[in-house]
């Protein structure tokens, strides 16, 4: 009698088998998707930290360049410019683009 009860419980209908395989496949697919998204998240956090380091270095470099620009521009005056060979423009010529050709204006 026990053998008969055990044998009847082992019978699974085809639709139950299909549902079981579908649920198992869905569980594996969801697990793989979860692992993929977690891995992607970890990589993005690493990339973000690298970008923040680069951004901080860039800000520091820009600040240094601004300081150098201000210090150099405060030292330049008309006498320094003349000693370097610059001279004032007396007769300026301007080139303007018209609809058909270039024209010179004084």
| pLDDT tens per residue across span 32-83 | 999 999 999 999 999 999 999 999 999 999 999 999 999 988 888 888 888 9
**DSSP SS3 for 97:** strand
Do residues 91 and 106 make contact, with C-beta atoms less than 8 angstroms apart? yes
Residue keyed to tokens 């150099």: 72
Instruction: Specify the pTM.
Output: 0.48
Task: Give alpha helix (H) positions in 1-106.
Answer: 2-9, 14-75, 78-83
Q: Which DSSP letter does residue 85 get?
A: T
The residue among 73 and 28 whose pLDDT is bigger is 28
């Amino acid at each position: 009698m026990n053998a008969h009860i055990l044998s009847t419980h082992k019978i699974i209908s085809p639709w139950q088998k299909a549902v079981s395989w579908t649920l198992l496949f869905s569980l594996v697919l969801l697990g793989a998707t979860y692992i993929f998204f977690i891995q992607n998240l970890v990589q993005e956090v690493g990339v973000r930290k690298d970008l923040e380091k680069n951004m901080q270095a860039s800000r520091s470099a820009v600040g240094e360049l601004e300081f150098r620009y201000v210090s150099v521009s405060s030292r330049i005056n008309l006498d320094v410019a003349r000693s370097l060979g610059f001279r004032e423009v007396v007769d300026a010529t301007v080139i303007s683009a018209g609809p058909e050709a270039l024209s010179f204006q004084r």
